[in-house]
Amino acid sequence: MSDAISLSQNAPPQTVAPADAMPPAPADALDVGGFVPMSTVDWPDRLAAVVFVQGCPWRCHYCHNPGLQPRCAHPAHGWARVLETLQARQGLLDGVVFSGGEPTLDRALIPAIRQVRVMGFEVGLHTAGLYPERLAECLPLVDWVALDVKTDFDDYKAITAVPRSGDPVRACLDLVLASGKPHELRTTWHPDLISDTMLMRLARRLKAAGARRWVLQSYRATPSTEASLGTGVRTPPDELVDRLRRTGLDLMVR
């Protein structure tokens, strides 16, 4: 999942497509925890709907949507209802982004991607890189992927609270880079979570792996994060950004 996401409630579909015009929802439907029918910020240069898939086993200190972490017996939005809304917006949206939580957790993700492709949408994927095998299945089906690289792989536990959680991310990074798919790598910056030394080490690793586009995201406090990480926005200092850029990476701060 992406670190900096906004979860808003689904507006009711403006029109409901007849059932026989809809791709059938699989019996094992995607576990949807939230849905944004139109977004300009979740996929660069695309107008996209965003589907937030429920569930993530990590516990990142800065998670903006801790409510999406548990797998929920009663998800907030039905996948069939999401499909209805998408059907009504064909021609108005460029694509659909699957975010989370961690979307690759859900074994219904791939059938869901196939369904929206059949409807004519491009597909974007936000992932924190927990499940390399499922990501490998997804990559041929997606048009763009945003992979969180939270810190240097050996330091992941400090952010996710899960031992060895950097190992699958390392594998996912290799998969994304080898796929040739348009992508961006994302790291949320906060001085208490990632030191300058760690960040430089990460930059060199990304460069050595063949990465090009890297986005440093400023930490933005939410009610669920401000007790531990403080209020407001924390933006990486210019001097640090300059040093990171000298590695040769295409680095953007936002």
Q: Using CB under 6 A, list all residues that contact ligand SF4.
A: 1, 3, 56, 58-60, 63, 68-69, 100-102, 128
**CA separation, residue 16 to residues 22, 43, 114, 252 (Å):** 10, 26, 21, 40
Say if residues 97 and 43 touch (Cβ distance below 8 Å).
Answer: yes
Shortest Å, Cβ 225 to ligand SF4: 10
- Nearest of 148, 152, 236, 143 to residue 185 by alpha carbon: 148
Query: Looking at beta carbons only, is 133 or 250 nearer to ligand SF4?
Result: 133
Task: Report d(CA 18, CA 22) in Å as an integer.
Answer: 7
Enclosing H/E stretch for 98: strand 95-100
Query: Looking at beta carbons only, is 63 or 244 nearer to ligand SF4?
Result: 63
Task: Report d(CA 19, CA 4) in Å as an integer.
Answer: 35
Shortest Å, Cβ 59 to ligand SF4: 6
Say if residues 173 and 187 touch (Cβ distance below 8 Å).
Answer: no
Query: Looking at beta carbons only, is 95 or 100 nearer to ligand SF4?
Result: 100
Query: Looking at beta carbons only, is 101 or 111 nearer to ligand SF4?
Result: 101
Task: Report d(CA 204, CA 42) in Å as an integer.
Answer: 27
Shortest Å, Cβ 123 to ligand SF4: 19
Shortest Å, Cβ 118 to ligand SF4: 28
Shortest Å, Cβ 18 to ligand SF4: 36
Query: Looking at beta carbons only, is 10 or 187 nearer to ligand SF4?
Result: 187
Both structure tokens of 82: 């999401």
